[in-house]
Amino acid sequence: MPESLKNLINMISFLPWIWEKSATKLAFFLLHSNKNYLENFREALVDIKENIWYCAKCHCLLDKWKKLCNICSDENRNQNSIIIVEEYLDMLSIEQTWAYKGTYHILWWAISPVNWVFVWDLNFESLFKRIENSDNKVEIILATNPNIEWEATSSYIKEEISSRALKHKTKITRLSRWLSAWYIEYADNMTLISAIKERKEI
Ligand SMILES: [Zn+2]
């Protein structure tokens, strides 16, 4: 087999959820694709590294030339309600339900010292700034995944809000236990809608 084809198969095998056999099939698909498609494919790959940035407020993914995402800049959305999620995909899952009209804050990690993820790796400071700078009481909705990392992350947020004297302007809730066995990304719409509607203050 030519070296360049072997190399392509290796690169594809590195992707998650791809078995070696599928990697070979995909490599042959690309080999037989027309040059235009491959050129566009290459450009799209370069593009995701060069032209994607983060929203200055909620840290969701954004085209690099924009400062704020559509949600953070929308006056019709309740800017005093913030759902805290780990991943951008979690935010997209909640948005797909059309049941929530507030904003988000993406931490991009959950605290996990065993995996070398510490407090300073997460977008906490900008979250506390958002609460501090708000003229109104803010509701923080913890959209936690069912694992110990998220328990630690939720506890940290609660403790910091108390120690920074932000308690009087913060209401902390968490999605209801409907969701307890589910990761947000995999939960169906009805489960998510119920979890948001029946959120509990903690
Ligand atoms: Zn935003």
Q: How far apart are the CA of 85 and the centre of ligand 1, in A?
A: 13
State the Cα angle at 150 between 149 and 151, rounded to 5°: 90
Domain ranges across the chain: 3-50, 54-201
**Looking at residue 182, what is its pLDDT?**
64
User: pLDDT-derived band of residue 177, with 50, 70 and 90 as boundaries?
Assistant: low
CATH annotation of 54-201: 3.40.1360.10
The H or E element containing residue 36 is: helix 35-50
Rounded Cα distance between 87 and 106, Å, is 6
| 110 CA → ligand 1 middle, Å | 19
pLDDT value at residue 178:
56
Alpha carbons 56 and 3: distance in angstroms, whole number: 44
Q: Quick check: 187 pLDDT over 90?
A: no
Cβ proximity of 184 and 94 under 8 Å: yes
At 139 the pLDDT is 94
Question: What number of other Cβ atoms are within 10 A of residue 184's Cβ?
Answer: 24
pLDDT at 143: 87
Whether 83 shows a pLDDT value over 70: the answer reads: yes
Paired strand residues for 200: 174
3: tokens are 């070296």
The mean pLDDT value of the chain amounts to 89
> What's the CA-to-centroid distance between 156 and ligand 1, angstroms?
22
For ligand 1, the distance from its centroid to the CA atom of residue 69, given in whole angstroms, is 4
Measure 174 CA to ligand 1 centroid, in angstroms: 20
CATH for 3-50?
A: 1.10.8.420
* 19-75 pLDDT tens trace: 888 999 999 999 999 999 999 999 999 999 999 999 999 999 999 889 999 999 999
